[in-house]
Amino acid sequence: MHIKESIPLSKYSRLINSGCVVLVSMRLKEKLNIVTIAWHAPVSKNPPLLAICVARSHFSSELITESKEFVVNIPSSELIDEVKLCGSFSGRDRDKFKEAKLNTLDAEKVSAPLIKECIAHIECKVGNIYEIGDHNLFVGEVLSASANPGLFDGEFLLIDKKTAHTVNHLGVNKYIIAKEITSI
């Protein structure tokens, strides 16, 4: 009989990789904020729905709950320092856009800003909020999606160009950078 090594339950999520790290931006009145998120997933094609999970205690959770919208911004590996910075402190009393030196662009469908330096963006209106453990699961209806010219081939976000390597978070300060697409 093969016996597996036990993993502490507090570390279970490090056994799976949910995809690229994203920077979620939001706005409530004049207050802008960014949160680094690794827990996200598309949950429906028709209608297009996307879910993000944010700790209920985080300022970002409060802003999204009140504003009922958010933008998922996909950073390239060139923004790894900014990704880390935006996930390292609360935006309640500090301006993450200013400290990370990130710029905003107006979104098409929501008041939350796009992050100019990111390679792609998904604008969402919150449909449902579920309290799940210590997190809020926000299910957003996708209202608009965009990418830098030439990075979306009609089927996939291309990650084989230098400026489009996505970043996956493994936990703590460990990341994987995606460098190529392969077919099998």
Residue 100: the pLDDT is 98
Which candidate, 145, 130, 134, 144, places its Cα nearest to that of 65?
Answer: 130
151 pLDDT higher than 90? no
Alpha-carbon distance values, 45 to 49, 50, 90, 172 (Å)? 7, 9, 33, 32
Q: What is the mean pLDDT of the chain?
A: 90
Alpha-carbon distance values, 40 to 24, 29, 96 (Å)? 10, 25, 21
H or E element, residue 67: helix 59-67
pTM over 0.85: yes
Residue 17: the pLDDT is 66
Residue 36: the pLDDT is 95
Residue length of the chain: 184
H or E element, residue 80: helix 80-86
Lowest mean pLDDT among 17-21, 60-64, 69-73: 17-21
